[in-house]
Structure 1
Amino acid sequence: MKEALFYFFEKETAMIEIKDLSKVYQTKKGSVSGVDRVSLTIAEGNIFGIVGYSGAGKSSLIRCLNLLEKPTSGQIEVNGVDLTKLKGPQLRKARLKIGMIFQHFHLISQKTVAENIAFALRAAGTPRNEIEDRVTELLEMVSLADKKDVFPAQLSGGQKQRVGIARALANNPSVLLCDEATSALDPNTTLSILRLLKKINRELNITIVLITHEMNVVKEICDRMAIMQDGKVIEEGSVYDIFSNPQTPLAEEFIKSVVSFDIPEAILNECRGRILKVLFRGHVAGEGVITDTIQQFNIKGNFLHGSIEYIQERPLGIFLMEVQGNHKAINKAVSYMEERGAQVEVIRNGL
């Protein structure tokens, strides 16, 4: 155990392995399953998003990761150390390497920005002569050096969250847990906080686990993601793969909140041709496949909707279009687009 603990604390980055994890709550009405046999592997240095609606179990899961909630069963390994087997001083020491930021900031209102951050350092036993320099370093990292002596009530929501991030980073964690960290913020502030988290991830190589119900958050910074429903993980993979090829109705529902292609029924009723949904992955999204297809097979094409989204810095093109012409030519055109790397779905065959 001593060797394993040494390895855990000395290694700069972390990999999390969740094995068959369950959390059951006892209520007056009986047992309620918050997390139901979840298994996930989170690679070191990744930003991993966990998505789900309220009650899906994502908050219970993330609170189990640092044992704020004690799991009913299963294992949580960080760099090969099972945290569920640690107790007392060992567990407290392990938690210092797992920072956490919250939706509602949880700052101490009677303390200044600097004192809020210093509080975390003092709690960890940091030598007094090192605290001031570390606080200054952290405030510069989150772009709040000029707010050192300000109280939380004088800060905006985004600034409060930056203080929360600085405090979570105070003890050089290997893992940063984000519990709906942007849900209380406006869109512009959310984007600035996400960019800060991405910068921290890249510069410090900290593994970030982020829970949210907003797919825009996942699309902006996550490498991989899991979708939860009723305490279970129902889909897991790279953000790009899930956006480009969702496997469950819930994943499709979440994606539509970010990329919507609903066409008014009145416009659809005016269409007489075949209506296609055409999806291009990767570099193919930037090529003129549709234009080439229309010219080569002598068909008419009418774009109804379309865009190119950039996910993990890779393009994903999605288009809705009406095509008219000889049925045989249209079938050949569809086959040609598929040969060029497109995924084509017939929404309606035409009137």
Structure 2
Amino acid sequence: MIEIEQLTKTYKTKYGTVTGVDNVSLTVGEGEIFGIVGYSGAGKSSLIRCINLLERPTSGVIRIGGTDLTKLGSGQLRKSRLKIGMIFQHFYLISQKTVYDNVAFALRAAGTPAKKIRPRVEELLEMVGLADKRDVFPGQLSGGQKQRVGIARALANDPTVLLCDEATSALDPNTTLSILRLLKEINRKLNITIVLITHEMNVVKEICDRMAIMQGGRVIEEGAVYDVFASPQTELTREFISSVVSFDVPEQVLASVRGTLVRVLFKGDVAGEGVIADMLQRHAVKGNFLHGAIEYIQERPLGIFIMELTGERGAVTDALEYLQSRRAAVEVMNHGR
């Protein structure tokens, strides 16, 4: 659906040339929700604005549905952009127009016949849960309601792609969750491909299928959300994940450990099984749980536990081998003293 090949975007400043996006290649499948994560300045906003050519790339290729947007003339590009909806952090609603007219504006701008505008707007407002707000002005709406108007407006011309530029950053946690669930519902109902950028891993964890981590204009890690959470490959990814799933053990607790300190990770269904209890029954070791939890990512359990094992060295080794035989990933953090 979306193919980005060796995309680079540079900017001329009074201090010289700055690279916002540095040779990025990504593929987003049809109907997928793809998250792009990074701190401010990572290049994610530049990247998403290049996807619909709000900013023209310095070099590289952007294909949507097989069409290279960078090769289109202005007329063809305007037509292609009708199939790329976009929602923003700050809503950008027209304060002097009602909710109805804000959504209708996108249809009128696209040349939609007048007789088709009203039923389409009413359909969209019903979809985003604002049918009772059609004659209200933006100033009378909450932040979440304003974003729902923005989503309805972005969907007005029946796009195949929806780009979300920090769409929930200005919202409180509960409202964020409701907007994410709405986006997921729209994705499943319309099979619309969604690309969202964010600096919040909770957003990605909640609705994304796959994700990429950006730093310094480059993609430094990419994969299925579950796999990235289960086995982060870079320090930055681990830092982002720790903001959602924290398994840090206080230093004073670690200082008191005399046995073998291990981190045990269970993926999928095995996370819900009593593997550790079985291990303790089968082997002459004792276990002291220091930290742990089971998280659900894409409705799949991911169990991470930190524990101290005490016993004879051979018994501890056998216990760890048993855990590995039960499809657990085991990391020895330090051996017994």
Residue identity matched to 1:170: A
CA distance in 1: counterparts of 2:336 and 2:55, whole angstroms: 55
Q: Which residue of 2 aligns with 1:49?
A: 35
How many residue pairs are counted as aligned between the two chains? 337
Q: Which residue of 1 aligns with 2:245?
A: 259
TM normalised by structure 1 equals 0.95
CA distance in 2: counterparts of 1:94 and 1:79, whole angstroms: 10
TM normalised by structure 2 equals 0.99
CA-CA distance at 1:266 after TM superposition: 1.6
CA-CA distance at 1:270 after TM superposition: 2.3
Q: Which residue of 2 aligns with 1:29?
A: 15
CA-CA distance at 1:269 after TM superposition: 2.0
CA distance in 2: counterparts of 1:350 and 1:179, whole angstroms: 49
Q: What SS does structure 1 have at the residue aligned with 2:294? A: strand
CA distance in 2: counterparts of 1:185 and 1:303, whole angstroms: 37
Q: Which residue of 2 aligns with 1:102?
A: 88
Q: 1:138-157 maps to which residues of 2 (within 5 A)? A: 138-157=124-143
Residue identity matched to 1:277: R
Q: Does 1:214 align with 2:208?
A: no
CA distance in 2: counterparts of 1:237 and 1:268, whole angstroms: 32
Q: What SS does structure 2 have at the residue aligned with 1:298? A: coil
CA distance in 2: counterparts of 1:35 and 1:303, whole angstroms: 44
Q: CA deviation digits over 1:131-186, x for unaligned, max 9?
A: 11111000000000010000001000000000000000000000000000000000
Q: CA deviation digits over 1:98-122, x for unaligned, max 9?
A: 0000000000000000000000000
2:163 to 167, 173, 177: 177
Q: Which residue of 1 aligns with 2:73?
A: 87
CA distance in 2: counterparts of 1:175 and 1:71, whole angstroms: 19
CA distance in 2: counterparts of 1:267 and 1:22, whole angstroms: 47
CA distance in 2: counterparts of 1:142 and 1:168, whole angstroms: 11
Q: Which residue of 2 aligns with 1:249?
A: 235
CA-CA distance at 1:207 after TM superposition: 0.1
CA distance in 2: counterparts of 1:183 and 1:348, whole angstroms: 39
Q: What SS does structure 1 have at the residue aligned with 2:101? A: helix
Q: What SS does structure 2 have at the residue aligned with 1:303? A: strand
Q: 1:1-351 maps to which residues of 2 (within 5 A)? A: 15-351=1-337
CA distance in 2: counterparts of 1:308 and 1:314, whole angstroms: 10
CA distance in 2: counterparts of 1:215 and 1:350, whole angstroms: 35
> Relative to structure 2, which stretch is displaced further, 306-315 or 157-166?
306-315
Residue identity matched to 2:284: N
CA-CA distance at 1:271 after TM superposition: 2.2
Q: Which residue of 2 aligns with 1:6?
A: none
CA distance in 1: counterparts of 2:99 and 2:196, whole angstroms: 24
CA distance in 2: counterparts of 1:264 and 1:39, whole angstroms: 40
Query: What stretches of structure 1 move > 6 A for 4+ residues in a row?
Result: none
Q: What SS does structure 2 have at the residue aligned with 1:278? A: strand
Q: Which residue of 2 aligns with 1:11?
A: none
CA-CA distance at 1:294 after TM superposition: 0.7
CA distance in 1: counterparts of 2:139 and 2:308, whole angstroms: 55
Q: What SS does structure 2 have at the residue aligned with 1:246? A: coil
Identity, in percent, stands at 73
Q: Which residue of 2 aligns with 1:9?
A: none
Residue identity matched to 2:240: F
Q: CA deviation digits over 1:8-62, x for unaligned, max 9?
A: xxxxxxx000010000000001100000010001000000000000000000000
> Relative to structure 2, which stretch is displaced further, 174-183 or 260-269?
260-269
CA distance in 2: counterparts of 1:211 and 1:305, whole angstroms: 31
Residue identity matched to 1:18: I
Q: CA deviation digits over 1:251-291, x for unaligned, max 9?
A: 11111111111111122222221111000011110111100
Give RMSD over aligned pairs.
Answer: 0.6
Q: CA deviation digits over 1:197-241, x for unaligned, max 9?
A: 000000000000000000000000000000001000011110011
CA distance in 2: counterparts of 1:338 and 1:80, whole angstroms: 44
Residue identity matched to 1:16: I
Q: Mind listing any 5+ residue stretches in structure 1 that lack a counterpart? A: 1-14
CA distance in 2: counterparts of 1:111 and 1:342, whole angstroms: 57
